[in-house]
């Protein structure tokens, strides 16, 4: 019997809500060089360019809605009688808008800002620029999106590692398995004895590490898996 579940989601879970993935043929990294917009070096070289990119992304997610996959995962959290943790690499807020609460945004959030001056993290829904003022320290010129760029440490790794170490079911949904440390979670969970399941449009980079897979759009395969698990 399953007593503890860890779920990892990636851009594929939000794709059918209208948010672009990163590495699919028409994905974000096919249009924008990640070194320019998703590294601390890119930000240092051209902060205006990076702010413009995230202002555009923040604007884009305003009109999107959670889809059947987000809703099914929120239902799983509500109805599953055991330990549950949803770890998302996504910076959108569709999981919480669908009702998920036991949730970690390991790569940060679009609608939050980080002050590089004082380290405070705050909600942020407006445009951001180098003229933005930190609501905590009141200084200007230090605000950046609260997202985790390449070379930076993802959030809440200790909590994630602990949950991976004691789960007996690990489910990876809509992620290509290209980006570490998230791409390594399946191996950690499996080494600790968890059953591992992949729900993705196509087999991911780490497909060999999963005991089971269902390949198809998240809005079909995720509700079907949740229905079976809760039955």
Which of 51, 70, 105, 107 is the catalytic position?
107
Taking the C-alpha atoms of residue 197 and residue 215, their distance in angstroms, rounded to an integer, is 11
Q: Give the residue with the Cβ less far from ligand BJW, 27 or 165.
A: 27
Q: Residue 89 Cβ, how far from ligand BJW at the closest point, in Å?
A: 3
Token representation of residue 11:
């851009």
The yes or no reply on residue 38 touching ligand BJW (CB under 6 A) is yes
121-137 burial, b at 16+ Cβ within 10 Å, e below that, comes to eeebeeebeeebebeee
- DSSP symbol at 132: P
User: According to CB under 6 A, which residues from 4 to 23 bind ligand BJW?
Assistant: 10-12, 15-16, 21-23
Q: Residue 148 Cβ, how far from ligand BJW at the closest point, in Å?
A: 5
Active site residue 95: no
Q: Residue 177 Cβ, how far from ligand BJW at the closest point, in Å?
A: 7
Q: Give the residue with the Cβ less far from ligand BJW, 82 or 119.
A: 119
Angle, CA of 96, 4 and 222, to the nearest 5°: 50
Burial of 60 (0-12, 13-18, 19+ CB in 10 A): middle
Question: What are the residues whose beta carbons fall under 8 Å from the beta carbon of 18, sequence distance 6 or more?
Answer: 63, 64
Q: How many residues bind ligand BJW (CB under 6 A)?
A: 36
User: According to CB under 6 A, which residues from 50 to 69 bind ligand BJW?
Assistant: none
The yes or no reply on residue 225 touching ligand BJW (CB under 6 A) is no
Rg of the chain, C-alpha, whole Å? 18
Contact positions vs ligand BJW (CB under 6 A): 10-12, 15-16, 21-24, 27, 38, 89, 91, 107, 147-154, 157, 174-176, 178-181, 200-202, 204, 217-218
């Amino acid at each position: 019997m399953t007593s503890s579940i860890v779920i990892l989601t990636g851009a594929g879970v939000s794709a059918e809500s209208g948010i672009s993935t990163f590495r699919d043929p028409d994905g974000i990294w096919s249009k924008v060089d990640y070194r320019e917009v998703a590294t601390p070096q890119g930000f240092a070289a051209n902060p205006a360019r990076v702010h413009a990119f995230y202002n555009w992304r923040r604007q884009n997610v305003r009109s999107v809605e959670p889809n059947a996959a987000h809703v099914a995962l929120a239902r799983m959290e509500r109805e599953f009688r055991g330990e549950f943790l949803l770890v998302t690499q996504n910076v959108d807020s569709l999981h919480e808008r669908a009702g998920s609460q036991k949730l970690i945004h390991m790569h940060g959030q679009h609608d939050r800002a980080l002050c590089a001056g004082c380290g405070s993290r705050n909600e942020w829904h407006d445009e951001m620029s180098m003229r933005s003022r930190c609501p905590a320290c009141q200084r200007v010129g230090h605000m950046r999106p609260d997202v985790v760029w390449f070379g930076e440490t993802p959030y809440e790794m200790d909590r994630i590692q602990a949950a991976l170490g004691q789960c007996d079911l690990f489910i990876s949904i809509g992620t290509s398995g290209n980006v570490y440390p998230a791409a390594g979670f399946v191996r950690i969970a499996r080494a600790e004895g968890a059953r591992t399941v992949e729900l993705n449009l196509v087999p991911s980079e780490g497909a060999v590490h999963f005991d089971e897979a269902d390949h198809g759009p998240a809005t079909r395969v995720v509700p079907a898996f949740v229905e079976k698990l809760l039955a």
